Amino acid sequence: MEDNYVTIEIKKLWNGRAEVRSYQLTEVLRQKRGIKFILDGDVRYVPISDVSKGKAGAVVNAKFPLPNGAKTYRLIGWDWSTLSEDAKEIENQQFLNI
């Protein structure tokens, strides 16, 4: 079950959101996996069905070479308070919705 998620450790929330960089999200979508956020030992999950529902945030000028060669990236975020703390619960809900 854990193999269904890409683990991303974050240092802080921004306006109550857990955020990833757009090039990271592209890779998660390519792998058809969900996201497992870790913040100070607290774990939350974004199921694959909700990965594309993140809200676009700021555009950032990169200070380092990006994997895709771009000069900027966008931050994409999900409200931390709405994310599930239990991956099994997500899997069960998805199974019931089939």
Residue-wise pLDDT for 21-32, tens only, equals 999 999 999 999
Q: What is the pLDDT of residues 30-54, one digit of tens each?
A: 999 999 999 999 999 999 989 999 9
Residue type, 22: S
- The residues, any chain, with a CB within 8 Å of residue 49's CB and separated by 6 or more, are 94
In the chain, the percentage of residues whose pLDDT exceeds 70 is 88
Percent of the chain surpassing pLDDT 90: 63
Q: Would you state the structure tokens that stand for residue 63, as one six-digit string? A: 């200070």
Closest CA to 4 of 52, 36, 27: 36
The pair of structure tokens assigned to 47 is 């199921």
d(CA 72, CA 83): 27
Determine which helix (DSSP H) or strand (DSSP E) holds 23, and give its type and residue range.
helix 22-31
Residue spans per domain, the chain: 2-96
Name the β-bridge partners of 78.
18
Radius of gyration of the chain (CA): 14
